[in-house]
A and B are shown apart, each in its own frame.
Chain A
Amino acid sequence: MARFEYLEARTLRQAISLLQRHGDEARIVAGSTDFLVRWRQGVWQPKYVVNIGRIASLRRISYSRRLGLRLGALVSVRDLETHPQIQSNYSALSAAAASFAGVQVRNLATVGGNVCNASPAGDTLPALLAFDAQCKIAGPEGDRWVALSEFFTGPGRTVLQTGEILTELRLPPPLPNTGSLYIKHSPRGAMDIATLGVASVISLEGSGRVCRNLRIGLGAVAPTPIRASSAESLLWGREVTPELITSAAQAAKADAKPIGDVRGSAEHRQDMVAVLTQRTLDRALDMARGNPMAFEMQRQFAIQAAF
């Protein structure tokens, strides 16, 4: 806990100029749910705190079938959970949001904060990766775009430069015949960080056998959230069989490079990648084949507490 000066920006431009002025001595806050914890622990000791939480333009959500989903960085995790268009078109993201902390924290926490905090265990991140999110970044030099899969550089580290702010996430429109599911493995059924999280999004060719598109996002098994690329490439463009899914699950396990911590050993995490990948793929495939799963059921999967 150290003293700091509190600054509030009302516009993006103001925020950028405050950040430019104070450089590395400043820290952005949005919902402050990570910030307050880190500050109290003495891990973060900024001289200036720049609150961007009141910049109204960063709160927008819009969805269209042609352009997909646009999420302002300040969109709350609670909105991700409850927004009807997100629930129906990006259900693994809504379910992931539902598995996040408790309602009070979800109301405060922002999606931009979850992304920029860059925790390997961030709950929205596997689903955002699996839905191929793109990041819009505003800075002193103007805007730039970075794919979310390129955004993370290490635990708590991102490509953001001093003075830059994440302003928006864009998710391409879902393909037809798509199913998605997030499963979170954590000791408690709420208010708990993922020991492991897996999100799979699979789209089938019209006939319903061949995999047209597949992304698997893995959380808490590497220094950053990652895609299970070798698992994805096993299925991409191929006819999906149970054997192939099992191989993909094993490949995902090999893609994971977990560490051990208070929540579980590295070996256990690695083993669980195969199990959860298999389960997300099985169910997502079923949904892609036209057997929808009620959101409540998906939520149950997402918060599958594993004591």
Chain B
Amino acid sequence: MPEHIALGKSLPRVDAMEKITGKATYASDVYLPGMLMCKLLTSTESHARIVRLDTTRAEALPGVRAVITGNDYPDIRFGSGALRDRRIMATDEVFYIGEAVAAVAADDEITAQEAVELIDVEYQPLPVVVDPLQAIRDDAVPVHEDLESFEGYGFAGGGNNCTLLDADRGDVVQAFQDADQTIEETYQSQPINQGFLEPMACVANVEPNGRLTVWASTQGPYQVRAQLASVLDIPLSRIKVIAMELGGGFGAKLRLAFEAFPAMLAMKSGRPVKLINTREEAFTLNGPRLETNIRLKTGVMNDGRIVAREAYSIFDVGAYLGAGPNAGVGHALGPYKIPNFKLRSYGVYTNKIYVGSYRASGVADMTFAVESHMDSVAHQLGIDPLDFRSMNAVEEGDISVSGARLPRNGLRETLQAVKDRLGLPKKMGEARGLGIAMGEWRSGSGPSTAAISVNEDGTISMLTGSVDISGSDTSMAQIAAETLGVTLDQVVVPKRDTDMAPFTGPSGGSRIVYSQGKAVQMAAEDARNKLMALASDRLGVPPDALACENGKVYVQDNTPQELTLAQLARMSLTSPQGPIVGNASLSSMPFAPVYNTQAAEVLVDRETGRVTLTRFVQAQDVGVAINPMSVVGQLEGGAVQGIGRALSEELQIDSETGRVLNPSLATYLMPLAVDMPEIETILINVPTDDGPFGARAVAEPPGFGPPAAIANAIYDAVGVRIKELPFTAERVLAAIKGQQPKAGFIDIEALLSGENPLV
């Protein structure tokens, strides 16, 4: 293999210096002359009619410059997808505690807060439904009376159902009849917050030319622009979104968040307006994930072959479909060959904060259920769980749920790597256990663009519209550097905004390196071809006799003829083709699945129920690691999030009112460094055909497996199967003592109307 100049090197991030010296600027660091501070009045009712909303006293407070209510906005509903179910601010009705009802802009934060407290609001309470298993019933209290009139509503299932995803193959009824054994279980995952460090922040300003500029903390500046244009009912071209440094998002910042509040206040007051969420607001106003109930039924033959799977899942989406239960369906199979299946996944409204995205929304919930269930089935059959997985694992050429043919992949290699590292099968000591889980995802796709220009000094300017997420700018710069044969420090990565950079999809869903990186590679190739063409012209040799490496284009056959990129760039200024600029656009990328295997070792304290994670090993097929350090960091971070989900994180929600009970980092417990064993990460390299240099997506899968791996390890240690997340000491102890868990059997047929054809 030839020596690489940038590819596969663990180079420090291009923005490392500004980050570690604290100089990187986030949205909350933006200060403009005359800037006002915004505070929100939010609903204290779970579901109510607003009978009176009077802002007179707030407006009269000295220092208050503008007050807005829902009536200041055009009467428009928007949504995160096709279904438009949400107003940016409540008008005559509130649907959950925390829904925005009014906003104030004042000279300082305390005055704004004081003004909020002077707004008089009177509610007339309406019936409330909080439990999704109640809400899904035909006779449930409706969250949205006028649901059927919502644009994009296409589900006829009744009750508060708003979405259905389904998939069927083969003859499930027959297959279950023919199966030697059938195992049925119900799992429940908990509401969970994304845990980004930087709470939402934004600044809005109306420029002298009348355009609106928004400094945002976002993963998707173009999504914010489009949704803002829609809720303000102004042309998209009148908005510029500047994506500032992102202090974590994990899906929570994919779409419009609170930008419309300072925007409207800026339009009304004529002054720049800033909004910074408190940590409490990051828990109560901003879409988390809510509980998911999953019922799985599996038919197996005694030799271990899975012949049928039926899966019903109910995703609580809260008051609005802030993010779909996207992946709820296909992942109900896991990465296994199952010839007959029937999969149903329902989204259901409740009077709770609406859901947002979180690192492949729904897949972690589903993987917890499926991978725990796999162990249950294996144990019932008396087969080692790893062997059981191995004998049913999908292979190249199989047809996936979506109908695509599975290309070459590293699934088996990840299983083998974990097996070898841990020396499986392995007998553990008293109260110690080991469990594994597998996960699957796809390399994210979607519109991507890039422009590469070669500067007169031979450096490269790389322009993309995507937001840096976990070092993705660095990986993209490495792709450009490798393609053009320059070192990473020769690549300039400018700060950009929606006016300056061409459209691209958001930074999320594991799409940046695979798809956006591909666009960068193509743009860099385009620039390289132009450099070679120019050099060919000047050196009088055909382009294929040339190479572009080490900052120059040279003739390959040892003739000492070469032109540096700087020389070529300067020549290009007067060449017929003009300055060297490479461009690329793409709308989607081929299906490239990602697989991983994760393993947890635990020690369970039988007297307290305490679970200590003593070892964690994971292997993932990453295709090719553009920057191994960055890839490992991403995989570790994902694993930690999954471990938190398994052991301590839970957004506790009041069962009567839907109120978030623990909106603080002191009560919503994300694990800390001291709680983690060393995470051992093994990179498997089975390159993709189409990703840049063969890279696959990396980001989402590491968060999937930890809950099931840990549940399986607890089972191995003390013989109890925990089907509810998280595995708190109390819950584990109760299971050890033989007490019944809360998540019982869910009778889906009884929950939905008997005539419902979709059941």
Residues of A within 8 A of B (CB): 1-3, 40-41, 185, 187-193, 262-265, 268, 271-272, 275-276, 303-307
| Chain B residues within an 8 Å CB radius of A189 | 672, 674-675
Residue of A3, A190, A193, A268 touching B672 (CB-CB under 8 A) = A190
A307 CB to closest chain B CB (Å) equals 4
A307 touches B729 (CB 8 A): yes
B666 touches A306 (CB 8 A): no
| Chain B residues within an 8 Å CB radius of A191 | 666, 672
Asked whether any CB of chain A lies closer than 8 Å to the CB of B16, the reply is: no
Q: Which of B85-127 contact A (CB under 8 A)?
A: 109-110, 113
Residue of A2, A3, A187, A193 touching B728 (CB-CB under 8 A) = A187
Binary CB contact string for chain B from 467 to 500 against chain A (1 if under 8 A, 0 otherwise): 0000000000000000000000000000000000
B199 CB to closest chain A CB (Å) equals 13
Binary CB contact string for chain B from 670 to 712 against chain A (1 if under 8 A, 0 otherwise): 0110110000000000000000000000000000000000000
6 contacts between A and B (CB under 8 A): A189-B674, A193-B666, A303-B674, A306-B609, A306-B729, A307-B728
Once the chains are docked, how many angstroms separate the CA of A156 from the CA of B525? 67
A188 touches B729 (CB 8 A): no
B647 touches A307 (CB 8 A): yes
| Chain B residues within an 8 Å CB radius of A40 | 278
Chain A, Cβ-Cβ closest to B609: A306
Residue of A1, A41, A190, A306 touching B605 (CB-CB under 8 A) = A306
B728 touches A265 (CB 8 A): no
Once the chains are docked, how many angstroms separate the CA of A262 from the CA of B726? 13
A210 CB to closest chain B CB (Å) equals 28
Q: A264-B730, A307-B648 are in contact. List 12 more A-B contacts (CB 8 A).
A: A1-B109, A185-B610, A187-B648, A188-B669, A188-B671, A190-B672, A192-B666, A264-B728, A268-B729, A306-B609, A307-B610, A307-B728
Once the chains are docked, how many angstroms separate the CA of A20 from the CA of B671? 45
| Chain A residues within an 8 Å CB radius of B609 | 306
Choose among A189, A276, A303, A305 the residue with the greatest number of B CB atoms under 10 Å from its CB: A305
Residue of A1, A263, A276, A304 touching B113 (CB-CB under 8 A) = A1
Total of A-B residue pairs, C-beta within 8 Å: 70
B116 CB to closest chain A CB (Å) equals 11
Chain B, Cβ-Cβ closest to A40: B278
Interface of A is mostly: loop
Chain A, Cβ-Cβ closest to B652: A262
B674 touches A3 (CB 8 A): no
Q: Which of B256-302 contact A (CB under 8 A)?
A: 278, 280
Once the chains are docked, how many angstroms separate the CA of A297 from the CA of B240? 57
Once the chains are docked, how many angstroms separate the CA of A222 from the CA of B652? 23
Asked whether any CB of chain A lies closer than 8 Å to the CB of B420, the reply is: no
A192 CB to closest chain B CB (Å) equals 7
| Chain B residues within an 8 Å CB radius of A305 | 610, 612, 674-675
Chain B, Cβ-Cβ closest to A191: B672
B717 CB to closest chain A CB (Å) equals 14
B610 touches A188 (CB 8 A): no
| Chain B residues within an 8 Å CB radius of A2 | 110
A275 touches B608 (CB 8 A): yes
A47 CB to closest chain B CB (Å) equals 14
A187 touches B669 (CB 8 A): yes
B674 touches A190 (CB 8 A): yes
A1 touches B110 (CB 8 A): yes
Asked whether any CB of chain A lies closer than 8 Å to the CB of B607, the reply is: yes
Choose among B113, B671, B675, B733 the residue with the greatest number of A CB atoms under 10 Å from its CB: B675
| Chain A residues within an 8 Å CB radius of B608 | 185, 272, 275-276, 306
B610 touches A192 (CB 8 A): no
Asked whether any CB of chain A lies closer than 8 Å to the CB of B380, the reply is: no
Once the chains are docked, how many angstroms separate the CA of A276 from the CA of B609? 12
B289 CB to closest chain A CB (Å) equals 18
Q: Which of B633-671 contact A (CB under 8 A)?
A: 647-648, 652, 661-662, 666-667, 669, 671
B605 touches A188 (CB 8 A): no
B652 touches A187 (CB 8 A): no
Once the chains are docked, how many angstroms separate the CA of A6 from the CA of B214? 36
Residue of A262, A265, A307 touching B611 (CB-CB under 8 A) = A307
| Chain B residues within an 8 Å CB radius of A275 | 607-608
| Chain A residues within an 8 Å CB radius of B661 | 262
| Chain B residues within an 8 Å CB radius of A264 | 728-730
Chain B, Cβ-Cβ closest to A307: B647
Asked whether any CB of chain A lies closer than 8 Å to the CB of B727, the reply is: yes
Chain B, Cβ-Cβ closest to A303: B674
Once the chains are docked, how many angstroms separate the CA of A5 from the CA of B608? 47
| Chain A residues within an 8 Å CB radius of B280 | 41
The 10 A-B pairs of least Cβ separation, nearest first, read: A306-B610, A189-B674, A307-B647, A306-B729, A268-B730, A187-B648, A262-B662, A275-B607, A190-B674, A189-B675
Once the chains are docked, how many angstroms separate the CA of A246 from the CA of B318? 48
A44 CB to closest chain B CB (Å) equals 15
Once the chains are docked, how many angstroms separate the CA of A283 from the CA of B61? 62
A3 touches B667 (CB 8 A): no
| Chain A residues within an 8 Å CB radius of B662 | 262
B720 CB to closest chain A CB (Å) equals 15
Once the chains are docked, how many angstroms separate the CA of A190 from the CA of B652? 21
| Chain B residues within an 8 Å CB radius of A193 | 666
B675 CB to closest chain A CB (Å) equals 5
B423 CB to closest chain A CB (Å) equals 26
A77 CB to closest chain B CB (Å) equals 16
B729 touches A185 (CB 8 A): yes
A268 touches B733 (CB 8 A): yes
Once the chains are docked, how many angstroms separate the CA of A303 from the CA of B609? 16
Once the chains are docked, how many angstroms separate the CA of A17 from the CA of B585? 73
| Chain A residues within an 8 Å CB radius of B733 | 268, 271
B109 touches A188 (CB 8 A): no
A81 CB to closest chain B CB (Å) equals 15
Choose among B280, B607, B611, B661 the residue with the greatest number of A CB atoms under 10 Å from its CB: B607
| Chain B residues within an 8 Å CB radius of A272 | 608
B730 touches A265 (CB 8 A): yes
A34 CB to closest chain B CB (Å) equals 11
